[in-house]
Structure 1
Amino acid sequence: MSKGRDRVLTQDVFEELSRHAQRIEEAPWLEFVHGKLGVKAPPDGNRGRIIAWLTRLCMQADPDRWLYANQGLRIETDREGNARPDGSFALSGTFAGQGEWAGPDGVLMVVEVTSYDEDTDRRDRVEKPRAYAETGIPVYLLIDRDSCEVKVHSQPDGARYEQVVTVPYGKTVTLPDPVGIELDTEPLKNWTR
């Protein structure tokens, strides 16, 4: 490319790229966080099992709220990023009619389960907490299979989460309001290698 004509990946271009990628069998899931294109590892069996377990717990706590698996969200301060959390906790029907990339309004909590790839540290532990806090999502739950810990981020201030509670697997942790669920993390020991 000639000088001055460098192309910048915009959200519209990203969403078009993602739409085309989804048509390819076994294509990776793409994300666009803080202006960086990323690839999200598809769920492995244990990661899928963790989301199924959380879904059941969420439904038992309140059948009018649902943990939506892999719903794409427009995130960050100006909604110019795209993430595909492992789970988005919201009222039943929140994402109806919104398509692949939904607005974050009504999302009470996002959940990420670390994958065993080289980008997980940067993506799940650094970039996504900042992006979700900028978006104003009240709770970010990180299930960290590398450290065998659960991190509950809450009280977003528009730039970061002011409170982070970390517990090892086996302890009970409170997912604060507006989620309001006590989470016994003992079963997570079964789904981490």
Structure 2
Amino acid sequence: MTVMAERTSHMTAEEFERLASTAPETVTLEFIDGRIGEKAAPDGDHETIVMWLLRQCMQSRSDLDLHTSQGLKAGAYRKGRVRPDGSLAPIAHFAGQGEWADPAGVLMTVEVTSYDSDTDRRDRRDRQEKPAAYAAAGIPVCLLVDRDRYEVVVHTNPDREAGRYRDLHTASFGEAVVLPEPVGFTLETETLKNYAR
């Protein structure tokens, strides 16, 4: 498989959607801040973390679903297209919205860093570019599980105009992490030590 290099593009979001719809099932494309990128295929530890988070969300907030494959319109003017590792929203929130949903009503996005030959570039996307896109879309909370740094970062208080979160809280794996309202529960992160390198 040929890996598509990340590059600035002059295509519109609609043109990107057409391109992404023709990609093979093994390729997941994203469009952030005018750049096309390929999302890494998750490894077993990555998927285990996402499933752990899904269980935590369901146990703490049975009125919400953590969607693991829903695409979102994000970034300034919702011109970007991203696939978070998780999108926490009310039950059936995305029904009828199609492949790329409006982020209004999403309470939290989740990103888990990846391990692959392109880790540094992908992790820059997870640590900086995606939170900026989620903030510009007004998503209240962005949770980053950083396996390289053995930490969890909670981004809150989005500044839509600046495209950034005003507040960040960083906790080492093993610490309790409070996910503030509108999410409203605490994660005990000791188990994450088992899935980092």
TM-score in terms of structure 2 length: 0.90
Q: Deviations over 1:62-87 (max 9, x none)?
A: 21101100210000121100010000
Percent identity over paired residues: 54
- Unaligned 5+ runs, structure 1: 1-6
Match of 1:162 in 2: 166
**CA RMSD between the two structures:** 1.1
**Once the 2 structures are TM-superposed, how far is the Cα of residue 115 of structure 1 from its aligned partner?**
0.6
**Once the 2 structures are TM-superposed, how far is the Cα of residue 180 of structure 1 from its aligned partner?**
0.5
Match of 1:4 in 2: none
Cα distance in 1 for residues equivalent to 2:46 and 2:25: 20
SS state of the match for residue 144, structure 2? Answer: strand
Higher Cα radius of gyration? 1
Cα distance in 2 for residues equivalent to 1:120 and 1:173: 24
Cα distance in 1 for residues equivalent to 2:123 and 2:57: 27
Q: Deviations over 1:20-71 (max 9, x none)?
A: 00xx242x20000001001100211111111111111111112110110021
CA change 1:98–1:188 in 2 (3 A) is same
Match of 2:189 in 1: 185
Match of 2:3 in 1: none
TM-score in terms of structure 1 length: 0.92
SS state of the match for residue 118, structure 1? Answer: helix
Match of 1:175 in 2: 179
Match of 2:126 in 1: 124
Equivalent pairs counted in the alignment come to: 184
**Once the 2 structures are TM-superposed, how far is the Cα of residue 112 of structure 1 from its aligned partner?**
0.1
- Unaligned 5+ runs, structure 2: 1-8
Match of 1:32 in 2: 31
> Does the 8 A contact of 2:74 with 2:133 survive in 1?
yes
